[in-house]
Amino acid sequence: MAASAMKEKTDFSHYGTKFQEGLVQIILDDRVFADQIMEVFDYDFLELGYLRSFVKLVFNYREKYGTHPSRETMLTIVRAELDNETDLSKKQIRDYFSRLSAAPVEFTSAPYIRDTSLEFCRKQNVKKAMLKCVDLVKTSSFDEIAKIMTESITLGSSNDVGYDYMKDFEKRFEITMRNPVGTGWVPVDNITGGGLGSGELGVCIAPTGAGKSMALVHLGAEALKQGKTVVHYTLELADTVVARRYDSCLTGIELGKVVYNKDYILGKIKDIEGKLIVKEYPTKSASTNTLKTHLEKLVRRGEEIGMVIVDYGDLLRPVSIQKEKRNELESIYEEMRGIAQIYGCPLWTASQTNRSGKNAELVTTEHISEAFNKCFVADFIFSLSRNNEDKVTDSGRIFIAKNRNGADGLTFPIHMTTKNVRIRVSNTQNLQGVVPQKSSDVVKQQAESLREKYKKHRTSIMNKKKENNT
């Protein structure tokens, strides 16, 4: 008896058997409460098997029929749908339902259980996370440990109940809500509603040597001109190399002559309102958790993050190791978009094309390397297409592959000067007379391919959910 009492104290603390039985009762009897707790609740939080099985029956019914079961409905379910349970578990579930049926709907402990249910879920979630991290310590997966513990601690911490369609009517007509940061390319800004917005992920795709890093510097420089604090993460180039590219982009001085024009450059950049922080990490040494830790340091220092640039996302180390690289890359891009949302700023990154994109006249999402699912995560995707002739003539094409805030499938001719890090869209000064090229066949093929790949992606997700439920 003493051992049993000790086990309950150890396992349940003051959230013991009675508390957990009461919690399940409220979930059954109070549909509104069930709706709320579903956002943070996990079956494993209940440490008694018969309670886990019972509440699964409740939530499975809700999911299948789109309505909350009554006690009468649960009586039918308990009598008929326990095939997968052991005889002991069946008896425990029936005994629990009998006790529940004998109890009043509004029992005396209900207010306390409602008030402390979130605290219970948080503590159980932390406990679950700690147990999971024990094995990760053996493999030195410290980034993953940090991610798991952070997520467990912050469970249910958001007070945001969602966007109210009627009450928040005015918000969707305020352009400032997106707070877009212009790209400096007028046609692109026109079709994106002013540039990349807060919490949005933008991706530049291009083959090696086409100018991905250069494009990211251009976008960062434009944000600086708009008074933003830009945090530029470089995973391939030295921080001083990146800084010199900004020197060239902001002043027009040729890249090779930057070191000889120190005073001139200082005079040109000293009045720029924005602030640039370049942080260098060796390739595959930093994860998205590393970036978040660094950004938190900047925030604590009083910096207001206006734009984040990651050059480039494919060179980040995954937080958790997965069997396939494409799954790791998809997670990285999801986490980068999460960073954009956490800090309320646009995040630009770049992605390498596959081999077929190297000589393509027009690079599309078909040429994106490794993880095509990156396309589903991004809010805006553009490509840089430059063949050998284009490089000689300082020309090329920008293709708008994806745009959640406007038109896509558009191709714009560009002038790209690598010696002084300048990219401009042709005829931007006379935009009204410009008719962007529409690559109809490419767009059609791409749209069809996207639809097919999205179907496969959704099918894969649904199959995984079915596997997890069985």
pTM of structure? 0.62
Q: What is the pLDDT of residue 135?
A: 72
Could you tell me if 256 and 107 lie in one domain?
A: no
Q: What is the pLDDT of residue 176?
A: 52
Q: What Å distances lie between residue 321 and 262, 288, 326, 468, CA to CA?
A: 45, 13, 11, 20
**Residue 172, in any domain of the structure:** no
Could you tell me if 371 and 252 lie in one domain?
A: yes
Could you tell me if 348 and 242 lie in one domain?
A: yes
Q: How many CB atoms lie under 10 A from the CB of residue 107?
A: 14
Q: What is the pLDDT of residue 440?
A: 46
Could you tell me if 188 and 308 lie in one domain?
A: yes
Residue that is last in its domain, among 86, 103, 119: 119
- The closest of 93, 58, 60 to 466, measured between CA atoms, is 60
Could you tell me if 350 and 467 lie in one domain?
A: no
Distance CA 368, CA 456 (A): 17
Q: What is the pLDDT of residue 49?
A: 87
DSSP E strand stretches across 293-379? 305-311, 347-352
One digit per residue, the tens of pLDDT, for the chain of length 470 reads 333 433 333 344 567 888 888 888 888 888 888 877 776 788 888 888 889 888 888 888 888 887 888 888 888 888 877 777 788 888 888 888 888 877 665 566 778 888 888 778 878 777 777 777 777 776 666 677 676 666 655 554 444 455 566 666 666 666 556 889 999 999 999 999 999 999 999 999 988 888 899 999 999 999 999 999 999 999 988 999 999 999 999 999 998 899 899 999 999 898 898 999 999 998 888 888 889 989 988 998 899 999 999 998 889 988 777 777 777 888 889 899 999 999 999 999 998 887 767 777 788 777 775 656 777 889 999 998 888 888 889 988 999 989 998 888 888 999 988 888 889 887 543 333 334 444 445 445 555 555 565 566 566 656 665 665 55
Q: What is the pLDDT of residue 107?
A: 62
Could you tell me if 289 and 415 lie in one domain?
A: yes
Q: What are phi and psi of 258, to 5 degrees?
A: -55, -45
Token code pair at residue 468: 């997890």
Containing structural domain, residue 49: 2-119
Could you tell me if 454 and 432 lie in one domain?
A: no
**Residue 131, in any domain of the structure:** no
Residue that is last in its domain, among 98, 119, 140: 119
CATH assignment at residue 247: 3.40.50.300
Burial of 454 (0-12, 13-18, 19+ CB in 10 A): middle
Could you tell me if 108 and 66 lie in one domain?
A: yes
Could you tell me if 427 and 453 lie in one domain?
A: no
Q: What is the pLDDT of residue 162?
A: 57
**β-strand pairing of 422-425 with 201-206:** unpaired
**Residue 299, in any domain of the structure:** yes
**Residue 138, in any domain of the structure:** no
**Residue 154, in any domain of the structure:** no
3-state secondary structure of 352: strand
Residue 423 near residue 215, CB atoms below 8 Å: yes
450-454 long-range contacts (CB < 8 A, ≥24 apart) are 450/365, 450/375, 453/372, 454/376
Residue that is last in its domain, among 119, 138, 163: 119
- The closest of 302, 340, 305, 292 to 228, measured between CA atoms, is 305
3-state secondary structure of 242: helix
Could you tell me if 391 and 445 lie in one domain?
A: no
Could you tell me if 278 and 322 lie in one domain?
A: yes
CATH assignment at residue 59: 1.10.860
Residue 68 near residue 31, CB atoms below 8 Å: yes
**Residue 167, in any domain of the structure:** no
Could you tell me if 109 and 217 lie in one domain?
A: no
* DSSP code of residue 260: G
Peptide bond into 312 cis (omega under 30): yes
3-state secondary structure of 401: strand
Q: Number of helices (H) and strands (E), helices first, in the chain? A: 17, 10
- The domain total for the chain is 3
Distance CA 198, CA 183 (A): 14
**Residue 128, in any domain of the structure:** no
**Residue 98, in any domain of the structure:** yes
| Residue whose pair of structure tokens reads 């305020």 in the numeric block | 174
Q: What is the pLDDT of residue 461?
A: 59
Distance CA 320, CA 323 (A): 10
